[in-house]
Amino acid sequence: MDFRRIEWLFLVAFIVIDIFLFAAFQRDTSGETDTTSSRSADSDTTIIKEMRADEITFSAPSKKSGEGYYISTTNDASIKSSLTSLSDQTVRYQTDGTIASTFKTAITGVDTKHPDKTLDTVVNNGALILNGTNYFYNSQLSSRNTVVYTQHVTDGQIYSRYGEIRFSLTNDGQVTGYTQGYLASVATLREKTETISERKALIWLYQYNQIANNTKIIWTKLAYTRYFTLKNSSVYIPTWVIAVKANSGNNAGVLQLKHVNAFTGAILTNDSNVKTVSGTSTTSN
pLDDT digit string (tens) for 258-280? 999 999 999 987 554 444 343 33
- Confidence class for position 281, pLDDT limits 50, 70, 90: very low
What percentage of the chain has pLDDT greater than the value 90?
Answer: 69
Query: Are 168 and 110 in contact, with CB atoms under 8 Å apart?
Result: no
Q: pLDDT, tens digit, for every residue of 65-121?
A: 999 999 999 887 888 989 999 999 999 999 999 999 999 999 999 999 999 999 999
Kindly tell me if the per-residue pLDDT of 284 is higher than 60: no
Three-class DSSP labels, the chain: CCHHHHHHHHHHHHHHHHHHHHHHHHHHHHCCCHHHHHHHHHHHHHHHHHHHHCCCECCCCCCCCEEECCEEEECCCHHHHHHHHCCCEEEEECCCCCEEEEEEEEECCCCCCCCHHHHHHHHCCCCCCCCHHHEEECCCCCCCCEEEEEEEECCEEECCHHHEEEEEECCCCCEEEEEECCCEEEEECCCCEEECCHHHHHHHHHHCCCCCCCEEEEEEEEEEEEEEECCCEEEEEEEEEEEEEECCCCCECCEEEEEEECCCCCEECCCCCCEECCCCCCCCC
Q: What is residue 37's predicted lDDT score, i.e. its pLDDT?
A: 52
Cross-strand pairs, 156: 153
**pLDDT for 193 beyond 80:** yes
154-162 mean pLDDT = 94
What burial class does residue 53 get, using C-beta atoms within 10 Å of its C-beta: 0-12 exposed, 13-18 middle, 19+ buried? exposed
What pLDDT is recorded for position 19?
A: 59
Q: What is the pLDDT of residue 36?
A: 47
* pTM reported for the whole predicted model: 0.82
Q: What angle do CA 175, 177, 178 make, to 5 degrees?
A: 115
The rounded distance, in Å, linking the Cα atoms of 208 and 266 is 10
Handedness of CA 217, 222, 223, 226 (dihedral sign): positive
- 257 touches 241 (CB < 8 A): yes
The residues facing 238 across adjacent strands are: 224
Mean pLDDT is lowest, of 15-19, 59-63, 101-105, for: 15-19
Cα–Cα distance, 98 to 183 (Å, whole number): 10
Q: What are phi and psi of 179, to 5 degrees?
A: -120, 155
Confidence at residue 152, expressed as pLDDT on a 0 to 100 scale: 97
- For the cut 50, the answer to whether the pLDDT of residue 28 exceeds it is no
Q: Name all domains of the chain by residue range, CATH numbers in brackets.
A: 3-72+188-276 (2.40.128.690), 75-186 (3.30.310.160)
Chain-wide mean pLDDT for the chain? 85
The residue type at 29: T
Average pLDDT over residues 52-57: 96
Mean pLDDT of 12-23: 59
Closest C-alpha to 20, from 201, 228, 263, 195: 263
Asked whether 61 and 197 are in contact (CB, 8 A), the reply is yes
